[in-house]
Structure 1
Amino acid sequence: MCDTETTFHNPDNSRWMNKSCPTFTGKCFVRALRLLKTERIAETRIPRVLAGVGHISDHYGISSDSAAVMEFPNDSTGFADEFQNNFSAFNETDTIFPRGVKITIAVVYMIVCVVGLVGNCLVMYVIIRYTKMKTATNIYIFNLALADALVLATLPFQGTDVFLGFWPFGNALCKAVVSIDYYNMFTSVFTLTVMSMDRYVAVCHPVKALDMRTPHKAKVVNICVWVLASAIGVPAMVLGDVENDNGIECILVLPDPRSYWDPVFGTCVFLLSFLVPVAIISVCYSLMVKRLRSVRILSGSKEKDRNLRRITRMVLVVVAAFVVCWTPIQIMALAQSLGFNLGSVQTVVFMHFCIALGYVNSSLNPVLYAFLDENFKRCFREFCHPSPFGFDAQQSGRMRNIAREVAYNCKTADGNSNPA
């Protein structure tokens, strides 16, 4: 029930009429308008509300040609201005986000969420389950899969937000989603940077790699990556908030003046989460390519050398996929923070598909592991079609066979005859 007062001014009797309106006030009307999200709903509901206004005017003897003025508490704009602004906002929102685009983005989010969660959870499972998978590189891959799984778990909420046109989940979940988004962005790129540096040490400094590249040290590095990512993840949780200016939005609310903080924050995010890490990764791989071209055998063994090159190639492909998927949205976000006008229909739609492309990268990594790494491929196959002897048992059996062959060759070299 509306308990605020609506004040009418009737020039016919030159007096103020203060009447309590139990069913409708201007403030309630404006609030109802803000909840209308499509032009179709507005066209059906607004005439009914206006009919109610006419009924109230007739009831209180206000003629249609009188200059009736409705004053609303706590509102800085008049009724007509507020009505026009909100109705224009509805038309603009509906134009920028056609229903087909909303449905497409929401469906893409759901598919990416399901495929990515299954793939990344499977990656984490095989690394935990199989002893032979607990290498330094795979420990970093586990960290990357964890960050990807967390951000993919938020896609149902973000897809609902895009489809409905407003955030319906409240402030607490808004803070969590914004924080996880920034955690994923920084944790992923920091982990890929560490993986590239790890490959550089393995290829260019194989002796030092024996001491530096251990699973235990990789776990410590992963913890440091999350602590470093908290430098942006925690502030994002604090600044993430629900705003009601043009509909209910879950956004990162920067302090005033926004004209100063928007470009500062956007530039820092672009440098720390993209440009600087990609530069470090590029330097590492340039040095690795130079080393691989100059030395035919890196580790003294063709088998080890083949594995070294294979893992290096896999990490390079994962990094390249990250750069391809994240470059568009990073550039768009930087341009927006610097004040470029990105308000056209095509630009806004393109930006949302760039965001979706960034999330696609999180579901793409497990597919790359399956195609590029034989150990992951065998583990995935073992998970889908379990054999009586597990992956670890097969690996142990293979090592025992190699040991027997070595012992047999040594005995033959010493001149010992084979048993009958």
Structure 2
Amino acid sequence: MKLELRPGQRVWVKNTNSSGIISSPANTPRSYNIDLPTGRLRRNRSHITVIPEGTTVTRYTKMKTATNIYIFNLALADALVTSTLPFQSVNYLMGTWPFGDVLCKMVMSIDYYNMFTSIFTLTTMSIDRYVAVCHPVKALDFRTPRNAKIVNICNWILSSAIGLPVMFKARTLPTSKDSVDCALEFPHPSWYWDTLMKICVFIFAFIMPVLIITVCYGLMILRLKSVRMLSGSQEKDRNLRRITRMVLVVVAVFIVCWTPIHIFVIITALVNIPSSTLQSITWHFCIALGYTNSSLNPVLYGYLDENFKRCFREFCTPSPSVLEMQNSSRTGANSRKIPQRDHHTANTGDRSNQQV
């Protein structure tokens, strides 16, 4: 294995008996220490930790799959929308928007970005599962981490088709003498553009994605029922069915949480319903149910995905070998002084480092 290193990095390569890790003929653990001031790269069994200038990025090799990259994108959208909840809570409690135009635009656009990015990502995950189950040979070329990242970027670009206009149109509007509302301001006639936008959101953020998801899972269910063995290995087949079940549950929970608000919005857009206490309660319940989905997703991942739980546990509680290497690196850094080298010697050392 050839590592591209920059001057000033420290690398530990610890061999184990695990598949894919360097092992010595005598199965004896060995460590290689390359000192650099700029950072450290550690590899230990299933994870790699990179610390460039004090920043830690943890990568679990078993988690670097197309499905988990889509889940990360979904988690990113959930994290963004939960960051807006304190502002919206204050708005509901005070009955006015006290944060000004800039935060109004940010909160409104993040809401729409979350809605569209989440449903687009879930639709992509359903298509990804369909390809993995029904076309396993094609999946080898299609279902790669690189392609998953490209698809995630495309999902955010598509979400910008509604997120950016919302950002430009959102502003604070006075509703009474002492009250200000954060809302979308449409050109005249406002009722027409407001209704048109709600219909477009209903079609592109609900109807079409749900139809695609339903077709994908319908075909997958037929495939799973008709074929006893999807792959040549029972373990791979069991993992394939387990991941498919996890994605199905995540999609189902999303549809259950977001269906009420979409139905409520489209009904109020097409039918003139007089304001009442029941309408207000229904509206706030539907809104709360939609936001609940963002907090349910991490629970679903942790409950349904054993690999996710194992890697998350390792992330929270580092293994003794990692702690031992960290302590030894600190001790070595404090007790050892690196001699100065001339330019030629440094270049020779760098070339040697790149062959480790």
Instruction: Please name the residue that 2:24 is paired with.
Output: none
Match of 1:412 in 2: none
Does 1:344 pair with 2:253? no
Report what 1:200 is aligned to.
130
The counterpart of 2:193, out of the listed 225, 240, 261, is 261
* Structure 1 segment 156-235 matched on structure 2, within 5 A: 156-235=86-165
Once the two structures are superposed, residues 50-93 of structure 1 have per-residue CA deviations (whole angstroms, 9 ceiling, x without a partner) of xxxxxxxxxxxxxxxxxxxxxxxxxxxxxxxxxxxxxxxxxxxx
Deviates more, 1:338-347 or 1:263-272: 338-347
Distance 1:167 1:327 in 2: 27
1:303 maps to: 235
TM-score normalised according to structure 2 size: 0.72
Largest Rg, 1 or 2: 1
Q: Which residue in the other structure is 1:113 paired with?
A: none
Letter in 2 for 1:170: G
- Separation of aligned partners in 2, 1:339 and 1:172: 32
- The DSSP-based 3-state class of the residue aligned with 1:243 is strand
Whether 1:368 aligns to 2:307 is no
What is the CA-CA distance between 1:256 and the residue it aligns to?
A: 1.4
CA distance in 1, matches of 2:111, 2:187: 20
Find runs of 4+ consecutive structure 1 residues off by over 4 angstroms.
none
Trace 1:65-80 onto structure 2 (pairs within 5 A): none
Give the Cα–Cα distance (whole angstroms) in 1 for the partners of residues 261 and 96 of structure 2.
Answer: 21
In the TM superposition, what whole-angstrom CA distance separates every residue of 1:363-401 from its partner, at most 9, and x where no partner exists? 1101000010011111222233333257xxxxxxxxxxx
Identity %: 66
Which of 65, 74, 87 is the aligned partner of 1:144?
74
2:124 counterpart letter in structure 1: V
Deviates more, 1:224-233 or 1:239-248: 239-248
2-structure distance, mates of 1:343, 1:159: 22
**Number of the residue aligned with 2:245:** 313
Higher helix residue share: 1
2:26 paired residue number:
none
CA distance in structure 2 between the aligned counterparts of 1:179 and 1:273, rounded to whole angstroms: 15
Contact 1:174/1:240 (CA < 8 Å) preserved in 2?
yes
1:129 paired with 2:59, answer yes
**Is the partner of 2:320 in helix, strand or coil?**
coil
Is 1:381 the equivalent of 2:326? no
Give the counterpart letter for 1:209 in structure 2: A
2:168 is aligned with 1:238: yes
1:342, CA displacement in angstroms? 5.0
Letter in 2 for 1:366: P
Q: Give distance in 2, aligned partners of 1:180 and 1:366.
A: 19
- How has the CA–CA distance of structure 1 residues 127 and 290 changed in structure 2, closer, same or farther, with 3 Å as cutoff? farther
Letter in 2 for 1:353: F
Q: What whole-Å deviation, never above 9, does each CA across 1:299-328 have from its counterpart, x for those lacking one?
A: 111000000000000000000000000011
Distance 1:389 1:311 in 2: 31
Verify: 1:292 aligned to 2:230, yes or no: no
Which consecutive residues of structure 1, in runs of 5 or more, have no partner in the other structure?
A: 1-125, 391-420
Of 204, 220, 225, 1:272 maps to 204
Whole-angstrom distance in 2 between the partners of 1:342 and 1:139: 45
Deviation at 1:254, TM superposition (A): 1.9
Q: Report what 1:86 is aligned to.
A: none
Residue-pair matches, total: 265
TM-score of the superposition, structure 1-length normalised?
0.62
RMSD after superposition: 1.5
Q: Distance in 1 between matches of 2:57 and 2:235?
A: 22
2: CA distance, partners of 1:177 / 1:316: 30
